[in-house]
């Protein structure tokens, strides 16, 4: 057995209130890690800043590493845990912004940054798309990271699985506008999370925010899902909190061997997958 304990945080990030959100995130780390030994904590997409930033995106953007990363790196080191969270990152050119996730290791070291590949229409006005999928070497194995709408693209999760990921961490701002049906959006979220886990036979730690902004309502439903799509832990209400589960990574290897999802692929038949249109 190779057991690890993971936590998906469900919080209400307040728009452009970076310091307030950092304080809240620090309190979550304290609370989770004083209750049990945790190997991995996943926060939502743009947890540091909120979502509908508009022109404020430039004001709250950070370089990586920077102030935000350094503070949360200290929390990771305090409890010897991995922390993944979303923020607005920037290049040396101040106007080049990314919707990013940062991965911090248990010694407080920066393991890397992932920049969201798939940007819905409104995000394209603020952010540049990333250009590659990456895995990160945690102390317990390889992990992959996706942000929000990335989850809707099965190629992204499969690519991470093929690169060795046994745990997929999803940081999300998944919700609906007033014109959309809540139950439909909620059904899509649940289905995508469980499908990505089952079709790749790995664990998915999915952290989704709650709360209201100008155009969106975010409903949470954060969860930890196993390699056969089974839900290990979830938050079924629109409340702040966290879903915690202890999982066995050996189940990933065993399930992949049983289902042969990776081994029995026929890549030569999938050429249309990588065509743009």
pLDDT less than 70: residues of the chain: none
Q: Are 193 and 170 spatial neighbours (Cβ–Cβ below 8 Å)?
A: yes
What CATH number is attached to the domain comprising 167?
Answer: 3.60.110.10
Q: What domain range is 270 assigned to?
A: 3-274
As a whole number of angstroms, the distance between CA 144 and CA 42 comes to 12
Residue 269's SS3 state is: helix
* pLDDT for position 93: 75
Digit-coded pLDDT (tens) for 174-232: 999 888 889 999 999 999 999 999 999 999 999 999 999 999 999 999 999 999 999 99
* pLDDT for position 275: 87
In the chain, which residue ranges form alpha helices assigned H by DSSP? 18-35, 56-60, 67-79, 154-162, 182-200, 250-259
Digit-coded pLDDT (tens) for 75-84: 999 999 999 9
Residue at token pair 């310091």: 19
User: Domain count of the chain?
Assistant: 1
C-alpha to C-alpha distances, 169 to 116, 129, 145, nearest whole angstrom: 13, 19, 5
* pLDDT for position 1: 84
As a whole number of angstroms, the distance between CA 1 and CA 257 comes to 16
* pLDDT for position 26: 98
Residue 99, φ and ψ in degrees, nearest 5: -85, 105
In 66-121, which residue ranges form alpha helices assigned H by DSSP? 67-79
């Amino acid at each position: 057995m190779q057991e690890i304990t993971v936590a998906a945080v469900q919080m209400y990030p307040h728009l452009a209130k970076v310091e307030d959100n950092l304080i809240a995130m620090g309190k979550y780390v304290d609370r989770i890690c004083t209750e049990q030994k945790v190997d991995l904590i996943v926060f939502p997409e743009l947890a540091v800043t909120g979502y509908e930033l508009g022109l404020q995106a430039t004001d709250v953007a950070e370089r990586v590493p920077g102030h935000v990363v350094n503070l949360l790196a200290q929390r990771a080191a305090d409890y010897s845990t991995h922390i993944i969270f979303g923020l607005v990152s920037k290049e040396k050119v101040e106007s080049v912004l990314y919707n990013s996730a940062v991965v911090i290791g248990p010694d407080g070291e920066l393991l890397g940054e992932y920049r969201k590949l798939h940007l819905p229409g409104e995000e394209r006005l603020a952010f540049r798309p990333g250009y590659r999928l990456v895995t990160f070497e945690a102390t317990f194995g390889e992990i992959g990271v996706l942000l929000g709408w990335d989850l809707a693209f099965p190629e992204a999760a499969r690519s991470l699985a093929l690169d060795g990921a046994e745990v997929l961490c999803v940081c999300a701002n998944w919700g609906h506008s007033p014109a959309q049906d809540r139950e439909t959006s909620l059904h899509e979220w649940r289905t995508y999370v469980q499908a990505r886990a089952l079709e790749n036979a790995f664990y998915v730690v999915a952290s989704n925010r709650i709360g209201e902004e100008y155009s969106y309502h975010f409903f949470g439903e954060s969860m930890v899902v196993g390699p056969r799509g089974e839900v290990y832990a979830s938050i079924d209400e629109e409340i702040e909190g966290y879903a915690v589960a202890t999982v066995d990574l050996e189940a990933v290897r065993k399930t992949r061997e049983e289902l042969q999802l990776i081994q029995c692929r026929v890549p030569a038949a999938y050429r249309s997958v990588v065509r743009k249109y």
